[in-house]
Amino acid sequence: MNANTSRQHPAEWEEGAQLFTRTARDLPTGRHQFHKERLMAQIQQEQQEQRGEHTGRSAVPAKTRRLRLPRPAIVLPAMAATVAAAVVAGVAMSDGGGVRDGGVATGPALTAEVGAATSKGLPQLLDQISLVAAKESHPVVKPGQYVYIESKTADTFLKTVDDKTSLASHALHRRQVWNSPDGTKGWLIDPAVNTDSAGETLSLPDEQGNTPKGSLNYPTYDYLAKLTTDPDQLLALIYKETKGQGNTPDQQAFTTIGDLLGESYPPAELYSALFKTAAKIPGVVVVPEAVDAVGRTGIAVARLDETSGQREEWIFDRKTHVFLGERSVQVKKNTGTEALMKPGTVTFTSAILHRAVVDGMKQAPSQAG
């Protein structure tokens, strides 16, 4: 869900703010926060990339860049995205990212022990996980039905107030997402994103009439159902579709598969193939001890982003090898403002509680039938 915005000089922000204000008045109620959240992620990436230019290195941590945003990703016209991004940048720098806080209290940084990693046993582990995944029940999603995913998430982020930057976190909270198989209808309830406790629509087209097509960055069920399940072909496709994204092609490939595991609904054969595909990415390791967002312990398949110093971990039950959730942990020291993310900082953590097919929007599995 990466998005690029054109760079703007601060002198252009005032004019951009006026344009954004006029545009915002035309948006339906409940959609302002959706666009703010999305644009906040874009401009946060932009600011970190600019800092990286001054330090001679890429300063975009993987999980900071890849915020847990509501899917589907609304595609805004380039001009609107550029203008609004500049405005949101000003908001973020002045109030510490208040557009991200929603209804979730912020607190101190999340931390954890940095577990040891090893390449020993990785092929065998991913083979076992793939076999278990192939046996899991994955009903076909029919037109009129919805993919429902319920999770608990928390994250740590850089917060700037009066030019002073510190670490803060969103407390662990419940997140619920509904998406139709074609991705044109959806709903999100996430207090870290929504200002309305009832959530807000993710349905398309957006206010500009845009309806993005299915892709790896916008993985609708219908799109995933057509993907190859051959690991070599699938990995080649991932590299092709994500070219230019992330800090390195290998890290972005790992991140892309992680996104599919965390908040999409791959058909059974594809779900199993994803793990065989991950085994072919260089640098993937095993972390024997890992904990998901709700405290379930397990074993993790992970990869270290050498640029950001963060390790992304997919956590599985040690005995059943069922996917539990994921987290990103800072394992290396950084420089500049990013040095605040000390080793052991958990930049993102999640636990999947329910993943199911339901017959109605905002319907939970317990309400089915």
Over residues 186-202, the mean pLDDT reads 91
pLDDT at residue number 177:
97
Q: Is the peptide bond before 10 cis (omega within 30 degrees of 0)?
A: no
How much is the pLDDT for 102? 59
- pLDDT at residue 217 tops 50: yes
What's the mean pLDDT when you consider all of the chain?
79
Model pLDDT, residue 148:
97
Asked if pLDDT for residue 129 goes beyond 70, the answer is: yes
pLDDT reported for residue 95:
39
With a cut of 80, say whether residue 84 has pLDDT above it.
no
- How many C-alpha atoms does 99 have within 13 Å on its Cβ side? 25
Would you state the structure tokens that stand for residue 16, as one six-digit string?
Answer: 């951009």
Residue 306 confidence (pLDDT): 96
Q: Is 186's pLDDT higher than 50?
A: yes
Mean pLDDT of 304-331: 97
User: What is the per-residue pLDDT across 157-169, written as a single tens digit (0 to 9) for each?
Assistant: 999 999 999 999 9
- Mean pLDDT value across residues 260-278: 96
Whole-number percent of the chain with pLDDT over 70: 71
| 52: confidence class by pLDDT, cuts 50, 70, 90 | very low
Higher pLDDT residue, 75 or 174?
174
Give dist(CA 167, CA 322) in Å, integer.
32
pLDDT of residue 210: 87
Question: Quick one: pLDDT band at residue 284, thresholds 50, 70, 90?
Answer: very high
Average pLDDT over every residue of 236-261: 97
Domain coordinates in residue numbering, the chain: 103-367
Of residues 125 and 195, more confidence is placed in: 125
pLDDT in tens, 335-350: 999 999 999 999 999 9
